[in-house]
Amino acid sequence: MEILLKDDGTKGFAMSREDDKRVGMMTYSIAGKNLIIIDHTDVDPEFNGKGVGKQMLYKIVEMAREKNIKIVPLCPFAASIFRKSDDIRDVLK
């Protein structure tokens, strides 16, 4: 599975692809140079329960660490992963 990150300066996303098919997307808004807001997660029902959403979140967390920015998880899925995972709370706003 491949996870791509892309942003245009105001919004961004992590997209998960497998065999050239999009299987998931997690979107975020850029709320300043030090803050992003994760607002939505969508995973193809065929891939539910396979860790696609968590992999996309961890890719965004990796980017946040590199850029020294914080994350506000408005998306219920992302918020639940932050509650369950101590290892990523360093980027939580």
The CATH number that applies at residue 13 is 3.40.630.30
Q: Which domain holds residue 28?
A: 2-86
Q: According to the model, what pLDDT value does residue 22 have? A: 96
Residue 25 near residue 16 (C-beta atoms within 8 A) = yes
Q: Sheet of 70-73: strands edge to edge? A: 2-7, 11-18, 21-32, 35-43, 70-73
**Segment 42-65 mean pLDDT:** 97
**Segment 46-64 mean pLDDT:** 97
Q: According to the model, what pLDDT value does residue 30 have? A: 96
Query: Does residue 48 form part of some domain?
Result: yes
pTM: 0.95
Total domains in the chain come to 1
Query: Does residue 13 form part of some domain?
Result: yes
Give the Cα separation of 13 and 47 in Å (integer): 18
Query: Does residue 93 form part of some domain?
Result: no
Give the Cα separation of 22 and 24 in Å (integer): 6
Q: According to the model, what pLDDT value does residue 90 have? A: 98
Give the Cα separation of 3 and 84 in Å (integer): 22
